[in-house]
Amino acid sequence: MKSGPRFNTMITSDKVRVIDESGENIGVMYTREAIEQANGVGLDLVEVSPNADPPVCKFLDVGKFRFEAQKKANLARKSQKTQDIKEIKMRPNIDDHDYDVKMRNVSRFIEDGDKVKVTLRFRGRELSHQQLGMNLLKRVQDDTAEIAKVEAWPRMEGRQMLMVISPK
């Protein structure tokens, strides 16, 4: 159940503190009287703080209020950055230059705020030399220690060794 503003048909208290459309505190009055005043101004009586004693109500245009709330929610959703998982694939006996290129990509992904999944694929007899893969992932971890932290430590899944790193 959402706890948001409640409109004049749902106010259960007999007395409420009333705030007018300009934000001025009118004072404490009977709910029926406050509803009549709000209708006289052409607005609705909205309960904005039901837990206060007495509950706080405000003169608002409900349609405009909902529209503003929707705009705020849309703006918050638009400014939110989603965190993607980028994948870098390597082999256990990767050459130094190839490793440097992969590490440039890893650091670019981390700086963009994305997580990076480092995948080592073993083929054939490489599977019997898993310590080479562990050494390589340890090297990746050491090279990215300043900008990233290990989120999922290296683990084997079939013929692959996986490690996930995320921005600090």
The reported pLDDT for the residue numbered 69 is: 86
The pTM of the full predicted model, rounded to 2 decimals, is 0.54
Give, in order, the Cα–Cα distances in Å from 115 to each of 30, 134, 142, 149.
Answer: 57, 20, 16, 10
The reply to whether 48 and 99 lie within a common domain is: no
Q: Among residues 78, 93, 123, which one ends one of the domains?
A: 78
Domain boundary residue, one of 27, 44, 78: 78
* Percent of the chain surpassing pLDDT 70: 92
Q: Which residues contact 160 (CB under 8 A, 6 or more apart)?
A: 119, 120, 121, 122
Supply φ then ψ for residue 87, to 5 degrees. Answer: -120, 135
Distance CA 153, CA 137 (A): 9
Q: Which residues contact 142 (CB under 8 A, 6 or more apart)?
A: none
> Are residue 94 and residue 74 in the same domain, yes or no?
no
Whether residue 67 sits in one domain with residue 45: yes
Residue 116 lies inside a defined structural domain of this protein: yes
Query: Residue 166 pairs with which residues in a beta bridge?
Result: 149
Beta bridge partners of 86: 116
Asked if residue 74 and residue 110 are part of one domain, the reply reads no
Q: Which range of residues forms the domain containing residue 126?
A: 85-167
The CATH code of the domain that includes 23 is 3.10.20.80
Cα–Cα distance measured from residue 143 to residue 79, given in angstroms and rounded to the nearest whole number: 31
pLDDT band at 105 (very low <50, low <70, confident <90, very high): very high
